[in-house]
Amino acid sequence: MIPPEGIGAARRGATGDPPRIDVPDLERSLKNVRTLFSALMSVVTVTASVVALYPLFSVLYLLIVRGGRRLGLSLFTELPPGAGMIGGGIGNAIVGTLVTVGLAAVLAVPFGILAAIYLAEYGDGSRVAGVVRFSAKVLTGMPSILTGVFAYAAVVVVTGSFSAVAGAVALSILVLPIVMLTAEEAIRMVPHKMKEAAIGMGATDTQTTLRVTLPTAMPAILTGVMLSLSRAMGETAPLLFTALFSDFWFEGGLGEPIATLAVLIYNFSGSPFDNQIDLAWAASLVLVAIVLVINLAGQALTKRPERR
Amino acid sequence: MSSAPPRAVTISRPPSAREIFVNRAFRGLTHVFAWATIVLLAYILFEIGSLAVPAMNEYGADFVTGTTWDANREEFGVLPEIMGTLYTSLIALVIGGALGVAVAIVLSQGFLPPVLEHLMKNIVELLAAIPSVVYGLWGIFVVIPTVRGPAEWLHEHLGFLPFFDTRLSGPGILPASLVLSIMVLPTVAAISREAMVAVPHKLREAAFGLGATRWETILGVVLPTASAGIFGAVVLAFGRALGETMALAMLVGNANVFGWSLFSPGNTLASLLANHFPEAGRVEVGALMYAALVLTAITLIVNVIGSLIMIRASSKMQGLR
């Protein structure tokens, strides 16, 4: 702080008496209004963050406590019980979820990766690429229930029945843009040097892409694929009126309605029977476990190369 | 000196005719799939639109202003659903947005040691990974019983306010909005954290150097600089909330009425679709398609605005570097 007499005064003081410059208190004290405000805000914000994370722990706790009750072999091997019946399991729904999501992956993953190759490599900077990217972003923002409405119109109405395929189509539209945009990012991360080396040796664009770029980008692409599939697994809204539900085992009929964990949880959540509600919790536990495992595995794929 | 047999001098060679053909074909293939994305989006909009056309001709604009949904009398209106969608999303956005920005501040302004910060960032991501139907189940068995007491108290003591003038009978706007706010929180937190991390260090350091406290820096420098990004995050989260289905279908009560009371049951466009589609007849399906079109229009507008804000936010940041 400059003394009232000005800098000159302080300098003059330096020749004779030791200068007396009025330095503000540098110690942090809560008596200072500004420091107090800062500290209070910190407390409020950290508290808010803890509040924000509370639901996650509450959900996980209940899943383990309520869902864990029914955890046993019969949960995986038996069919869902009817109203008022005891026992039963969610075996067909687990199979159905895997079938539907698997089918959605078959539809969406190659599509997404090929389009991503175009976006990142061949069509980079072109107007088409811009429009494609925009379309993909619009698709990511599209409410999941609307993909169900679309699959209903395009598949259920056309084929005349609710089916596993219709469910898979609905889910694939959710998976597609995520795969495409993450794969594009991943392909862009591949160092130019590597591609140039391949091209310099006379490799065609295709050989460069398939032998150099894609293998290098693969972990990151797979992360995107797994994250999108884990999201698709938990999706319920697009399946409600496409895959519908089935009380029986999946026997290879992709043209028939199929049971899924998500729809089972929804159907049983409003049930007046404790047995079905318990199964809804158990199904939630299984679903969240599968989703988290895929999610964490996907993240682990890209984290490993970073550490090297 | 024994000369080695002459081997291929180099491993490089020009591509053969077959390779050139494969190359063309593969490039063409990627081009086709890129175009297919555009076609798919157009097809989705066309398919929903074309099935909605009969209902659009039949009900016209009355559909958007009508308040009854009665399949038996073939009378369809979605005003309560539109209001319910906007109302629940806005409440969720206020709560989830505030908490999300708080989380983003904690995760970006050096409140925690790096290890904890990384852990908490992952936990927030897990919050987004929980399927919405599980949140719905949790809402039914945890949120509704928990808010019942406070709701009763608010109704008793502040019942004259329009927000509290009914009793909470179970499902309703408040539990649905609370669960929805948890679901938008990770979006807000992640995107606004990105925006705050992108604020150049020299700006923060300059503020500290001038003697600003941590919060003077956050409120005076970091938040204003990142404001466009945070706003974009909030708008994108709003788009997500508008389209969220399951948690609302399970918690909002599915009553085709709209009231300002937080404790009254209501409905949203997405949960209307979820509840009525599975057993709708031909005429009702047409009306539902119309409702889907309305939802598409609303979310599309909100998302495009959000994306534009994000693009402007990042170009503004580039000027600061």
**Least confident stretch, A149-158, A276-285, B55-64:** B55-64
Query: How big is the A-B interface in CB pairs under 8 Å?
Result: 263
A65 has pLDDT over 90: yes
- pLDDT > 70 in chain B, percent: 94
**Best to test chain A binding among B120, B137, B284, B295 (most A CBs inside 10 Å):** B137
| Residue B284's pLDDT band (cuts 50, 70, 90) | confident
B282 close to A (CB below 8 A): no
Q: Which residue of A has its CA nearest to B97?
A: A52
B9 has pLDDT over 60: no
Q: What is the mean pLDDT of residues A228-242?
A: 92
B277 and A149 within 8 Å at the Cβ level: the answer is yes
Task: For residue range A152-163, list pLDDT tens digits in order.
Answer: 999 998 998 899
A303 has pLDDT over 90: no
Q: What is the mean pLDDT of residues B171-177?
A: 92
| pLDDT at residue A9, as a whole number | 47
B307 close to A (CB below 8 A): yes
- Residue B144, both tokens: 């509704």
Best-predicted range by mean pLDDT among B89-103, B113-127, B240-254? B89-103
CATH homologous superfamily, domain B62-320: MetI-like (1.10.3720.10)
**Best to test chain A binding among B44, B112, B293 (most A CBs inside 10 Å):** B44
In a domain, A49, yes or no: no
A260 has pLDDT over 60: yes
Q: What is the mean pLDDT of residues B24-44?
A: 94
- Residue A305, both tokens: 């190369």
Side chain identity, residue A230: S
Backbone angles phi, psi at B168, to 5 degrees: -85, 115
In a domain, A241, yes or no: yes
| Residue A263's pLDDT band (cuts 50, 70, 90) | very high
Residues in chain B with CB shorter than 8 Å from the CB of A45 are: 102, 105-106, 111
Cα B313 to chain centroid, rounded: 19
Average pLDDT, chain B: 88
B110 has pLDDT over 70: yes
| pLDDT at residue B314, as a whole number | 73
| pLDDT at residue B308, as a whole number | 82
- Residue A62, both tokens: 């209940």
B 13-42 residues with CB < 8 A to A: 13-15, 19-20, 22-23, 26-27, 29-31, 33-38, 40-41
| pLDDT at residue A13, as a whole number | 46
Number of structural domains, chain A? Answer: 1
**Secondary structure (DSSP) of A200-250:** HTT--HHHIIIIIIHHHHHHHHHHHHHHHHHHHHH--GGGTTTT---SS--
User: Residue B95: which residues within 8 A CB-CB, separation 6 or more?
Assistant: B177, B178, B181
A2 has pLDDT over 60: no
In a domain, A282, yes or no: yes
| Residue A291's pLDDT band (cuts 50, 70, 90) | very high
CATH number, domain with residue A157 = 1.10.3720.10
- Placement of tokens 């889907």 in the chain: B292
ipTM of the complex: 0.87
Whole domain around residue A220: which residue ranges? 73-307
Q: Are A179 and A228 in contact (CB under 8 A)?
A: yes
3-class DSSP assignment, residue B34: helix
**Best to test chain B binding among A1, A47, A56, A171 (most B CBs inside 10 Å):** A56
| Rounded Cα gap, residues B238 and B318, in angstroms | 26
Instruction: Name the nearest CA neighbour of B268 among B258, B281, B282.
Output: B258
| Rounded Cα gap, residues A92 and A89, in angstroms | 8
In a domain, A247, yes or no: yes
A17–chain B nearest CA distance, Å: 29
Q: Is A152 exposed, middle or buried (0-12, 13-18, 19+ CB in 10 A)?
A: buried
Side chain identity, residue B156: E
B321 has pLDDT over 80: no
Task: For residue range A21-40, list pLDDT tens digits in order.
Answer: 666 666 777 778 888 999 99
A272 close to B (CB below 8 A): no
B94 close to A (CB below 8 A): no
Backbone angles phi, psi at B144, to 5 degrees: -60, -50
B133 has pLDDT over 90: yes
| Residue B107's pLDDT band (cuts 50, 70, 90) | very high
In a domain, A64, yes or no: no
Residues in chain A with CB shorter than 8 Å from the CB of B38 are: 131-132, 135
Residues in chain B with CB shorter than 8 Å from the CB of A148 are: 273, 277
Task: For residue range A84-105, list pLDDT tens digits in order.
Answer: 888 888 999 999 999 999 999 9
Task: For residue range A181-198, list pLDDT tens digits in order.
Answer: 999 999 999 999 999 998
For Cα atoms B243, A113, A156, give the angle at the middle one, nearest 5 degrees.
50
Instruction: Name the nearest CA neighbour of A174 among B250, B117, B204, B40.
Output: B40
| Residue B155's pLDDT band (cuts 50, 70, 90) | confident
Q: Structural domain boundaries of chain B?
A: 13-59, 62-320
- Residue A187, both tokens: 């392909």
Average pLDDT, chain A: 88
| Rounded Cα gap, residues B35 and A118, in angstroms | 10
A46 close to B (CB below 8 A): yes
Identify which has the larger pLDDT, A6 or B108. B108
| pLDDT at residue A308, as a whole number | 37
Task: For residue range B217-265, list pLDDT tens digits in order.
Answer: 999 999 999 988 898 899 889 988 998 999 899 999 888 888 888 888 9
| pLDDT at residue A253, as a whole number | 81
Task: For residue range A105-145, list pLDDT tens digits in order.
Answer: 999 999 999 999 999 999 888 899 999 998 998 898 889 99
Q: Are B15 and B256 in contact (CB under 8 A)?
A: no
